[in-house]
Structures are given as C-alpha cells and as structure tokens.
Amino acid sequence: MNGVLSVKGIPIGGHPIDFDLQPGGILAVLGDNGSGKSLLLSCLTGHLRTAPGVVRLGDEDLSALRAEVGVVSQHPGLIRSMTVFENVALPFLARGLDLDGGLQEQVELRLNLVGCGHLADEAVHHLSEGDKRRVALARALSGRTRLLVADEPVAALAPAKKALVRELLITLVQTGVLCSIVLATQDIDFARRTATHVLLLRVGGHTFLRCEDAAVDEHCRAFAAQST
C-alpha cells in the first residue's frame, strides 16, 4: 500500500506546518493543550478545510479520499443501544452493503483484527473502556481505510490496555493493513514506544523528527521534561 502523507503550509498557531510521513509510518502529534493538535487532526480528516495549505496522500488531495481515512475520536462514540457488531456494521450500511453483500464477513474480519471477535453480540454498555476503544478502531477500519487518525487513543487506559493498543497499531502498519497512522497524545511514553516520527507543536513553530532523533532534540526534551 503506497502513499506518502504530505502536509504543506497548513497554518497552526500562526505558523505553517510542513512534513512528509512515509508509508508504514506512525506519527505522534505532541503539544500543550491549545497548541493545535485537534485542529491539525481536523484538517487530516477533512472536517476542516484550510487555505492556504495542501494535504495529500500519495498523488491525491486528502479531501477527495475521506472514505479512505479512518477516525478514532478521544471518546469512542459507540451507540450504547446497539451491539458491538451493529456499531461496526454502521459504516458499511451507510454505503448500502447488506448481509447478502458480505456485511457479516466484513464486520467479523475487522473485529477479529482488533481481537474483539468474541464480543460481536455484546451490548456496548457492557464493555470495558479498553474494549470500547478497540471496537471504535474496528469501526474506523471499515471500507478502504488507508490512513488512521486517532485522538488520544489510550487516554485513561491501564498500562496493560495501552500495550494492547500499541501492539495493534504497530501491527496494522507493519502488515500493510494501513498505509500510515497519525495520533495525537499527551502520553510521552506511549508516543516513544509506538511512533516512528514525532511532530511537536510549540510556541514559535513545530518540530518534525524521527523518534530516535527526538530523544536528543532540545525542544522535544524540554516538552518531555515538563510533561513528566
């Protein structure tokens, strides 16, 4: 699965954001509250169009590829009155795919991918917070998802649940299920263990680095120090 995620000239905090994330990359977006993390994610998901600025995946403008962008919000947003299966089926039903068209197989495939196949018939309100987040991820993988955009995917999760999410995200890009992942997080340790690259939004600009280089960057070190 090919396609560089290219962001050029998107104004965040009064400064243009520029970076290229190669296929197979996981980008952790870091920054203080109000630094523009949510604004950047909104640009990537197509919920906010800014000008000037360009966001492309491969050779195409990302605004034309919304069906290929999966979104996991900070709050899972599952419908409590529905089962796990029904929640994951919703995006397929919105495109008119019924059981005869392979809905059951497609939903089960995604639930099994995130390790929740055994929960298909469970009511959402019975799930743990960690399981809700995994089901939300399964729903985000419906269709032809190439790019996953996640906002605080491990907020308030216990360490064991964070590890499960981290392993899943890494597996999704390493196996080619996803082209790339962009996640906003305040969890420095999760970012270090999960991401290949870091984008730090800060006063006066931004810093885009590979994770191993971020460990010695003065701006990243200062942010990590104030966050621990």
Give the separation between CA 76 and CA 119, rounded to whole angstroms: 16
Q: How confident is the model at residue 2 (pLDDT cuts 50, 70, 90)?
A: low
Give the separation between CA 57 and CA 183, rounded to whole angstroms: 16
CB 43 within 8 A of CB 50: yes
Give the separation between CA 40 and CA 68, rounded to whole angstroms: 17
Give the separation between CA 163 and CA 80, rounded to whole angstroms: 26
Q: Inform me whether the pLDDT recorded for 150 exceeds 90.
A: yes
CB 219 within 8 A of CB 50: no
30 bridge partner residues: 200
Residue 42's pLDDT is: 87
| Chain mean pLDDT for the chain | 87
SS3 content of the chain, % helix, strand, coil (to 5): 40, 25, 35
Percentage of the chain modeled with pLDDT above 90? 39
Query: Average pLDDT for residues 7-28, to the nearest whole number?
Result: 90
Residue 99's pLDDT is: 55
Instruction: Report the CATH fold assignment for 1-65+176-228.
Output: Rossmann fold (3.40.50)
Please report, for the chain, the start and end positions of each structural domain, with discontinuous segments joined by +: 1-65+176-228
Q: How confident is the model at residue 49 (pLDDT cuts 50, 70, 90)?
A: low
